[in-house]
Amino acid sequence: MNTSKLMDKEAIRRAITRIAHEILEKNKGTDDLCLVGIRTRGVTLAARINEEIKTIEGTKPPLGILDITLYRDDLTLIDSQPIVHETQIDFDITGTKIILVDDVLFTGRTIRAALDALVDFGRPSSIQLAVLIDRGHREFPIRADYVGKSIPTALSQNVRVILQENDQSQDEVIVEDAEKR
């Protein structure tokens, strides 16, 4: 299998720091700000961004966890139901500025599901999107407000984000050619 490294640990760290700065700049601080990570790696990234924000600003916005399984539009297409994990948003999102965080932005369907889920929790004043990788091939009119790195990929390729917390392996982003089926 043909694989190549897109980002290493340092690159990821720098991207997260930059995104945190951009978020604060654009939102003029942390007032009404909250972060919601999409399971699984979006949650890890959101937590890291939140730490950065605290380092810069001294305060930490509330952090939520979103599982979008129940909002997926492909449930009838797959053989067996994916495992549903808990969603934990313990704060009222009405009137907040939500930073939705995911690892890779691809077709946009996950974000579509996440937006549907979020509006069920309340009426935020705005939702912004932060992703580590934007790999193109959008199927929905969705774009990210904060991007760690934009990479052109082929549809046949897989982009894998490896994070210490989730994968017990050093941070990196790799792109690999999908196995021929």
Q: Which of 84, 141, 168, 169 binds other proteins (CB under 8 A)?
A: 84
Query: Residue 90 Cβ, how far from other proteins at the closest point, in Å?
Result: 10
Tokens for 20? 């945190």
109 binds other proteins (CB under 8 A): no
Q: How many CB atoms lie within 10 A of CB 151?
A: 17
Task: Give the range of 28-36, 40-48, 77-85, 163-171 binding other proteins by CB under 8 A.
Answer: 77-85
Q: Residue 38 and residue 66: Cα distance in Å, rounded?
A: 5
Q: Which is nearer to other proteins, 29 or 95 (CB)?
A: 95
Q: Which is nearer to other proteins, 69 or 158 (CB)?
A: 69
Contact 41, 161 (CB under 8 A): yes
Q: Which of 13, 21, 85, 138 binds other proteins (CB under 8 A)?
A: 85
78 binds other proteins (CB under 8 A): yes
Location of structure tokens 């774009």: 143
Give, in degrees to the nearest 5, the angle at Cα 153 between 168 and 147: 65
Distant-in-sequence, close-in-space partners of 85: CB < 8 Å, separation ≥ 6: 39, 40, 67, 69
Q: Residue 38 and residue 40: Cα distance in Å, rounded?
A: 6
Q: Which is nearer to other proteins, 69 or 157 (CB)?
A: 69
Site for other proteins in 128-147 (CB under 8 A): none
Chain positions contacting other proteins, by CB under 8 A = 67, 69-71, 75, 78-81, 83-88, 116-117, 120-122
